[in-house]
Amino acid sequence: MTEDLPAWNSEYDVIVIGYGFAGATAAITAHDAGAKVLLIEKAPEADKGGNSRVSANLVFWPNDVALAKAYFVALAGPYMDDISNTMVDVWANEMYANRTWLEGLGMTPFELPYVEFPEMAGSECVRVLMNGPGPMGGERLWRIIEAAVSARDIDVLYEAPAINLIKDCSNIVGVMTKQRGKNVAIKATRAIVLTCGGFENNPAMVRNYVDGLPRIFPNGTPYNTGDGIRMGLEVGAQLWHMNNISGPLLSFKAPEIAVAQWLNLPHGKSYLFVASDGSRFTMEGDPCLTGDLHGKVKRHGQWGQQALPVPIHMIFDETFRKSGHIGKATTDWDVSHGNLYDWSDDNIREIEKGWIKRADTLSELADLIGIPAEALEASVVRFDEFASGGVDADWNRAADKMAPLDTPPFYAMELTPAFVNTQGGPCRNENAQVMGADGNPIGRLYSAGELGSIYSFLYQAGGNIGECFAFGRIAGRNAAAQTPAPSMAKPFAFT
């Protein structure tokens, strides 16, 4: 606690913390309800947009509210216990309302057939929307939302991370930000909305909250470092859904690049993945490569989180090396931010950088990467037999996607689990209020988006962005509807 606090530097009705889809939606809605709104963003302007901007820009739109509720409950399965029926009702109704709201902002909905769990109750309602036909992503929905913010009298501050929420008795009354190295206190007369994303780029939180994945890197923004979780905890929030993530996807992380890069494998066949004991542990395809089912796998009849035996190496031969670039030469983050890594077509540049190790024999390669040579050789011999015989008796990889590693030299590239987003954070209720550990809402504090998402277990594609709009509107509406705080007292308590 600090008693000697600076006076307020400025004052707004509603302050929204984090400028992705959720923050933009809350800001637009609060503004349209008559509030004077400030949107504060940690990243520089060039890196704005969070995961929202670099996402595939897909929106899950349920075309029937009753079926949507059934599908939600089926997906949550045994992890439904902390989600009230009221919450599910509100989620379903607002998700349904998204389409009209987005059309009102200028979106041209184009439906994709992408039902992630067709066998689940209610799945007939699933429609996944993007803004017009064409490739996924490309900021095509982001630009519409960004334009809607720009068209309004909403102040936006970049490079202004929120560092603490300021609490007056039971109410949140302002936020301390860091601007050009200085602490700047901003008062919110009505409310604050937390929309500052998840903890994808906070290794300590990942270690504490995500089971089975000690090392995992973001495919999206590097700026989501769990700040909303820390700030929420400081003012007494309870957390939910911390162990639910969308991933892992096996990717490559170069030390000098902030985010993990996708792999590009379809061109070649003579490769396999091995764990640190030299054993093969997966089909080298669905689900850990493609991200289908967002990292959940069914084992022994039960769905669960995919875990991976890191460190993992991809082993391949000269034929595969020559067959095309192994890195996708892009990540969505790099493309959006003009920071594209140009992966060489023959992978030579990456060998020279040391990202890929080369050796004349498998035994020497094993020594280079510190795994038992006999085990690696045995795994490759077995894989080669499967590839030649046309049946992968261990992992059922398709015969037309396998070929023996018969052309030296041999190569190893370390892979890393990566993920698109976390779901956990401060728990919110049907009014988008952040809930305290005592079970009561924290006064004048709201949230939306992937920071404390409603998704506790299985996940339908497009669900996060849909929730950003749904709860962004609820949060913006309710924040603007608060009666202005009666006093202009200086902040007196922040931790």
The residues of the shown chain that bind ligand FAD, judged by CB under 6 A, are 17-23, 40-43, 49-52, 54-58, 161-162, 195-197, 219-221, 223-224, 227, 332, 420-421, 449-451, 462-465, 468
Give the nearer residue to ligand FAD in terms of CB position, either 449 or 491. 449
N residues, the chain? 495
Give the nearer residue to ligand FAD in terms of CB position, either 98 or 347. 98
Give the nearer residue to ligand FAD in terms of CB position, either 127 or 321. 127
Distance between alpha carbon 140 and the CA centroid of its chain, in Å? Answer: 18
Amino acid identity at 395: W
Alpha-carbon span 247 to 26, nearest angstrom: 27
Please state whether beta strands 37-40 and 10-17 pair in parallel, antiparallel, or not at all (unpaired): parallel
> Would you say 178 and 2 are in contact if contact means Cβ atoms under 8 Å apart?
no
Give the C-alpha distances (Å, rounded to integers) separating 61 from 14, 21, 291, 292.
28, 16, 20, 18
Amino acid identity at 215: R
Smallest distance, Å, CB 178 to ligand FAD? 9
Give the nearer residue to ligand FAD in terms of CB position, either 23 or 436. 23
What SS3 class is residue 304? strand
Alpha-carbon span 123 to 104, nearest angstrom: 26
b/e per residue 93-127 (b: at least 16 CB within 10 A): ebbbebbebbeeeebebeebebbbbeebebbebbb
Smallest distance, Å, CB 397 to ligand FAD? 25
Burial of 1 (0-12, 13-18, 19+ CB in 10 A): exposed
Give the nearer residue to ligand FAD in terms of CB position, either 122 or 226. 226
In this structure, how many other beta carbons lie within 10 angstroms of the beta carbon of residue 287? 18
> Would you say 38 and 157 are in contact if contact means Cβ atoms under 8 Å apart?
yes
Smallest distance, Å, CB 346 to ligand FAD? 27
Give the nearer residue to ligand FAD in terms of CB position, either 315 or 461. 461
Residue nearest to ligand FAD (CB): 20
Smallest distance, Å, CB 4 to ligand FAD? 23
Give the nearer residue to ligand FAD in terms of CB position, either 443 or 449. 449
Give the nearer residue to ligand FAD in terms of CB position, either 268 or 424. 424
What's the chain's Rg over C-alpha atoms? 24
Sequence-ordered strand ranges (E) for 19-148? 37-40, 59-62, 109-112, 126-131
Smallest distance, Å, CB 224 to ligand FAD? 5
In this structure, how many other beta carbons lie within 10 angstroms of the beta carbon of residue 189? 21
Q: Which of 60, 79, 63 is nearest to 117 (CA)?
A: 60
Distance between alpha carbon 282 and the CA centroid of its chain, in Å? Answer: 24
Give the nearer residue to ligand FAD in terms of CB position, either 247 or 436. 247
Alpha-carbon span 123 to 130, nearest angstrom: 19
Give the nearer residue to ligand FAD in terms of CB position, either 51 or 261. 51
